[in-house]
A and B are shown apart, each in its own frame.
Chain A
Amino acid sequence: MSKVFDIFKRDVLSSTRNTLAIYMIIVPIILAVVIALSAQGLNDTAVKVAMLEDDTPEHIEFMRKYAKVELFNSVNELERRIMKRDEIAGLLPKGDGYEIIVQGNEPEMIEVYTKTLSALYELGVSKEDSRSEIYNFNRHVPPVKKMLVIMLISITIMLAGMLISFGIVEEKTENTINAINVTPVSQNGFIIGKSALGGTAAMASIVISIIITGFYDINWLMIILVGVSSLILSVLIGFLQGLNSKDVMEASTGVKVLLLPIAGSIAGYELLADKWQWTMYWSPFYWAYKANDMILSKTADWPTVLLCTGLVLVISLTAYLVMMPKIRKGLS
C-alpha cells in the first residue's frame, strides 16, 4: 500500500515537471472560473420577470406561478433593473396587451419563455390546462450553467485519462516499467499507483469546480460516487492509449476519442425526445450526465443515483474485462 503511494508521489513529482500535465490539471479550474464569471445570471434556474406593482393582481399571480416575479413602482425603476447584469425580462402593459423588454444580452429562451407565459395568460388558458404544458416547456429549457458544469465534469474525467496516459507513456518510453517489474511491487499495485494521480486530480478538480461555480449545497457523496465510477472507463482508456503511444501528444490525441461519446451523450440527453432517450443507454457518460444533472438540480434521490452509478459500473466493467488483458500484457 505504501508502495502504491510512492508510485503516486513519483507521478506527482514528474508531472510538476511536465508542462502539458500541469496544464491538464489547471485547465478545468480555469474553465470553472470562466463559467462562474460569465454565467452569473444563470445561477437561478427560474426565469426572472420584472413587472409593475399596479399590474392586475391576476396577472401578477399567474406569472408568479411560473417565474420569479420582481415588482417595481415605476417604469424607470423597472428599466434600471433590466439593465443589471443578470437575466431578467420586463413585462409592461402596452395598449391592449403587453410588451416584453430585455437588455439584449439574455439568452433567447428567457424572452421566449416570458412571451409564452404572457400569451398563455392573454389566451386565458386555465391553470390546469397550462400547467402540464408549461411544465414540459420548462423541462426542455437547458439551465445553461448547470449544463456547462456537468460538461466540465465530463471533460475533467477525460483529462484524468490523459494524465494517466502521460504517466504510462513516460514509463514505456524510458523503459522504466522493466525496472519496476524487477521489484517486489505487484502489477496491481503498479496499476493502482499509476491511476492515483489522474483519479485524485480529477476528483479534486471536480470538487473545486463545483464550489467555484456555486453549487455547494448539493449532495457531495452522490457527486463523488458518480465521479469515481465514471473515472473507471477513462482510466482504462488512459492506460491503453499510454501503452500504444510513442509520446504524450499521441497519447492525448488517443484519449481525446472519448470526447465523441461524451459530447454525444450530453447532446442526446439534452436534445433527444423522451421516446428516443433509450438510444443513449449504452453510454456510461449518459448515465453519469443524467445523475450529475439531477444532483446539481438537487432533485436526485438515492435509488436513481445508485441505478445510474450501477449502470456506469456495469458498462465500465465490461470495458474492463475487454481491455484489462491487453493492459496487463502491455505492462509486462
Chain B
Amino acid sequence: MISVKNLSHSYNNDGILAINNISFDVAKGETFGFLGPSGSGKSTTQGILTGLLKQQTGKVSVAGYDTMKVQNERFNKIGVSFEQSNVYSKLTARENLKFYAKLFDVPTRDPDELIRLVGLEGKEKVRAGEFSKGMKHRLTFARSMINNPELWFLDEPTTGLDPTIAATIKDIIRERTASGTTCFLTTHNMYIADELCDRVAFIIDGEIVLIDTPKKLKLQYGQKLAEIEYFKDGKLITETLKTIDNADKSRIADIIKNYDVQTMHTKEATLEEIFIQVTGRGLA
C-alpha cells in the first residue's frame, strides 16, 4: 500500500534534513506506527506521503500512485487526519462534514453518523468555532473517515484528548483496521503504538532506527530485564536489572543471597523502555 525508498526532506533546502534517507513498506491491511519524539520527522513524512509537502528525493508510492505525479483522484481512496485540527469555524459540525463529503467521487458516510461515532452527538448544529480543541480534533478525525478510505493517515490521533475520549478513538481505529483499512499512524505515545500497530518504526532525528512488531521487540528486549522486590532494613526496595549484564547478574545473585526477596520476575519492557534502550533517548 505504501512503499518508501530513500526519502529525505529539507524544509528550506538548507541541508538541514527533517527526514534523512528513510525507507519502509506498509502492506495492505497493516497498521503501521511511526513512533518518535516530537520533532523527529513524523508529520513531515506524513506530509510527503499525502502530497501536502513536495517530495524532493527518493521514490514513494502510495495506494498505487507515484507521489511525484499529481493525481488527485487518488484521494478517493485516502483519508487524512491532521495533528492540528483544521475545520471551518463558521460552519457547524454537520456543515463541515457535508461540505467535505461532496468533494469526493466515491460514496461517502452520513455526517451525523460520524459525529455520533466520535461522541459529538447533539453538537451537529453547533459551529466548530465554538468547539473546544479536543472537539475540533474529533471532528477532524471524523472527517478523515468520510470517504471510507482504504488507506488512512492519522497524525497523533489521540494527542490532547482526555482518556475516555482517547479510548473511543482507539476503538474506532481498531475496528476500522480490523476490517481491512490500511493505517499509517504517527504518535509519540508508546501505548497507542503498542495497542494499535502491527509494526512500529522508531524514528529519531529524521532517521528510522528500527522497524519491527511490538511483540518481537518486547521478546527481544523485554526478557532481558528482571525486576526484584526485596526487604532491606525493613523497607521494600525494587530494582530492575538486566539479565545479560554481568555486573547486574552478580547483583541479582547478591540480592538473593543477602536479602529477603519478596517477588522476582522477568519484566516485559514497555515500548518506551525499548525506545530508550535502542535510541538512548526518551519519547517525551
Contact = CB atoms under 8 A, between A and B. Distances in A.
Interface of A: 2-3, 6, 10, 13-14, 17-18, 170, 174-176, 178-186, 332
Interface residues of B, number: 29
A179 B100 contact: yes
B75 A10 contact: no
B199 interface: no
A186 B72 CA distance: 6
A325 to B, nearest CB: 14
Given A174-B86, A174-B89, A176-B87, A183 B52 contact: no
Contacts of A184: 72-76, 103-105
A179 B82 contact: yes
Contact of B91 (A10, A180, A186): A10
Interface in B90-149: 90-91, 95, 99-100, 102-105, 127, 140, 143
B88 A174 contact: yes
Contacts, number: 68
A75 to B, nearest CB: 65
A182 B95 CA distance: 18
Given A179-B143, A184-B75, A186-B72, A14 B51 contact: no
Given A179-B86, A184-B104, 6 more contacts: A3-B103, A6-B102, A17-B90, A178-B52, A183-B72, A184-B76
B12 to A, nearest CB: 14
Nearest to B74: A184
A113 to B, nearest CB: 54
Interface of B: 50-52, 54, 72-76, 78, 80, 82, 84, 86-91, 95, 99-100, 102-105, 127, 140, 143
A6 B99 contact: yes
B72 A185 contact: yes
A178 B86 contact: yes
Greatest chain B CB density within 10 A among A13, A14, A176, A186 is at: A176
Nearest to A9: B99
A181 B88 contact: no
Given A179-B143, A181-B52, A14 B90 contact: yes
23 contacts: A2-B102, A6-B99, A6-B102, A6-B103, A10-B91, A13-B90, A13-B91, A14-B90, A14-B91, A18-B90, A170-B90, A174-B87, A174-B88, A176-B88, A178-B86, A179-B87, A179-B100, A180-B103, A182-B52, A182-B80, A184-B72, A184-B104, A185-B103
Contacts of B91: 10, 13-14
Contacts of A170: 88, 90
Contacts of A13: 90-91, 95
Contact of B103 (A18, A174, A178, A183): A183
Nearest to B72: A184
Contacts of A181: 51-52
Contacts of B105: 184
B154 to A, nearest CB: 13
